[in-house]
Amino acid sequence: MPRVTLRLEGADLSRIIIDAAPRTESSVTHQNNSLIIKFEADALDVSIPAFQPQPLVQAIRAVDPVTLAVDLGPRFSVFRATTQPLAASTRLTIDLMIAQPESQPAAPAAAPPVVSAPASSAPPELAASIPAVNGLRAIALDAGHGGDDNGVKGAAGTKEKDLVLGIARRVKAAIEGRLGIRVVLTRDDDRSIPIATRTAIANNNKADLFISVHADASFQKTTSGASILYAGAGRSGEASGRQSPGPVRLPTFGGGMREVDLVPWDLAQTRYAGRSRELAGFIQEQFQDRIPLSAHAVGSAPLDVLESANMPAVIVEMGYLTNEEQEARMNASEFQNTLVQALFDAVLRFRDAQGEAR
């Protein structure tokens, strides 16, 4: 059971330092004026220090055996969370920013610099990037497989479903914590979810990006490297001109008519083909020199989970679990930190490219 200790720093308790030993992953999300910190463990041995309610932090409490909540005060505006692996523990640092930018225009930049392994390789702009929600409001992350479906099983016993869930949770924590973009996970535990439901979660949450995280298998034991896949035609009937029926006029509540663009569910992705390919390219670019890429790094196929996605969408295959060396590497925190950071940077790059296109 991980032992979790909390420390509050700064005159107005603007920094919360949480050490979990042994190393434990966690995610931070902002919900209903609280920060919800969820640890990847079965239970926690947690000690919460006593303190008076402050303008930034009102209270810290345990929600359930693996979740803590930081109740925020009236002066809270945004937060930044970073994780840093220490010798025998994982350190989660949460910086709370004060509202009232007019009196403190440099507040975010003046926050104490956060030292963390992944952030050190990131462009300097990251450290100061507080929610500049520039065209990206929500991202859907899909951890492949789950429940009865283990996905690929490595020789040493690694299950794809577990590996990808850990990565998806950490990418979520990084994007929400540092960019303030809402991230929806299609699954946050070990359960089996129909493929159509995964895409539906992305569509119903109006996600602007969909990334499905997987680990690959090869019939050759030596195949290695990551690849990024986008949906490609190939199904019979697509080429023969089955298309969107286009806009139709439908009655609205309260009278009147409205034009609604009808898109067949299984063809939703076709109009995003170009941007999905572009997203795949950005991820490939960010992986370059950091995450080993396979000989064919970007490809397309009629991929079920992507075809109905109503937004740019890709599958990221992080490496081959059938390759013993890759299996060990993918389980190592160094690889995972770099992967999370590279995916984070690719999202940032995609967001900026969208801004430029406007």
- Binding residues for other proteins, rule: CB under 8 A, are 144-145, 149-153, 160, 195, 214-220, 222-223, 227, 229, 232, 234-237, 239, 266, 294-296, 299-305, 307, 315, 317, 320-322
CB of 155 to other proteins, least distance (A): 11
Q: Which is nearer to other proteins, 86 or 155 (CB)?
A: 155
- Nearest CA among 63, 347, 308 for reference residue 200: 308
Answer yes or no: are the C-beta atoms of 20 and 4 closer than 8 Å. Answer: yes
Tell me how far apart the alpha carbons of residues 56 and 158 are, in angstroms, rounded to a whole number: 42
Going 110 to 116 to 118 to 123, the CA torsion angle's sign is positive
The residue among 152 and 171 lying less far from other proteins, judged by its C-beta, is 152
Query: For residues 121 and 222, which CB has a smaller minimum distance to other proteins in the complex?
Result: 222
**Cβ at position 30, least distance to other proteins in Å:** 32
For the CB of residue 42, give the shortest distance to other proteins in the complex, in Å.
Answer: 27
Smallest gap from residue 152 Cβ to other proteins (A): 4
The nearer residue to other proteins, 267 or 353, going by C-beta atoms, is 267
Of 114 and 217, nearer to other proteins (C-beta) is: 217
Between 22 and 234, CB nearer to other proteins: 234
- Containing H/E element for 268? none
Structure tokens at 117: 């392994």
Q: Please check whether residue 160 is in contact with residue 152, taking contact to mean a CB–CB distance below 8 angstroms.
A: yes
Which is nearer to other proteins, 235 or 249 (by Cβ)? 235
Q: Which is nearer to other proteins, 134 or 218 (CB)?
A: 218
Instruction: Tell which residue, 344, 348, 346, 290, has the closest CA to residue 82.
Output: 344
Phi-psi region of 233 (alpha: psi -120 to 50; beta: other; left: phi over 0): beta
Show the tokens assigned to 272: 């995003």
264: tokens are 């067949």
- How far apart are CB 168 and other proteins at their closest, in Å? 15
Q: Which amino acid is at 221?
A: K
Question: Closest separation between CB of residue 171 and other proteins, Å?
Answer: 19
Nearer to other proteins (CB atom), residue 72 or residue 165: 165
User: CB 84 → other proteins: shortest distance, Å?
Assistant: 32
In the three-class reduction of DSSP (H, G, I as helix; E, B as strand; rest coil), residue 64 is classed as: strand
Phi then psi for residue 229, to 5 deg, are: -120, 140
Query: What tokens were used for 133?
Result: 């929600």
Residue 312 Cβ vs other proteins, minimum distance, rounded to whole Å: 18
CB of 172 to other proteins, least distance (A): 21
For residue 345, give Cα distances in angstroms to 56, 153, 288: 29, 29, 12
- Phi and psi at 191, nearest 5°, equal -135, 155
Report which secondary-structure segment, H or E, holds 146.
none
Convert 269-301 to b/e letters by CB count within 10 Å (16 or more is b): bbebeebbbbbbbbbbebbeeebbbbeebbebe
